[in-house]
Amino acid sequence: MIAQLLVATHNKAKLGELMMGMKKLTDQGVKILSLNDLKISEDPEETGKTFEENSILKAKFYGSLTRLPTLADDGGLHIEVLDGALGIKSKRWLGRDASDLELIEYTLKRLEGLPKSKRVAYLETSLCFFDPKSNTLFNKQERIRGYIAEKQSGRPTLGYPYRALFVIEKWGRYYDELTEEEHHAISHRLKALRWMVDKIVKS
């Protein structure tokens, strides 16, 4: 069993969500560290062509940098009518680091006038665990199907702009409007994380 685990993200919202799924590790004495704890500001160049490739790239980058077992994530939004865009460019769809509001407004503009049947979308994630000492690597992908609403929700989550547009088909409600219990049940990231934590515990 590992003694420490670095969660390699600068996104505070994502870090908080991942920490929610770490109880099984912390109960066994694993110390969870963040990039902020280690005062790491570097970011690798995300040259992968898929979420999976980028999550592996990030886990290996930070694991090699710190010599710590590392958990990294990459993910975003796929919209069928846009041939899978935004994909790996979800954060930089405008060609730069845009604000949450800019990304929300641009997405709505691109889909303006399209019916619900043409607004099918998926939120996707890829998690990767890498231990540089044993060269152990695990990777897991998950996604949720939904559709893009015609206007944003009234409860946007800072750091997750597309959740303010994404309606969960199962409940017909914005991702941002789910209760904590519903979020835990549906979250693609937490589903991948539960699988990942079990693999880490057994490794």
Task: Name the residues annotated as catalytic.
Answer: 74
d(CA 3, CA 69): 9
- Burial zone of 82 (CB within 10 Å; 0-12 exposed, 13-18 middle, 19+ buried): middle
Find the distance separating the first CA and the last CA of the chain, reported in whole Å.
7
**160, two tokens:** 């997750």
Helices (H), 75-146: 100-110
d(CA 17, CA 28): 20
d(CA 123, CA 143): 5
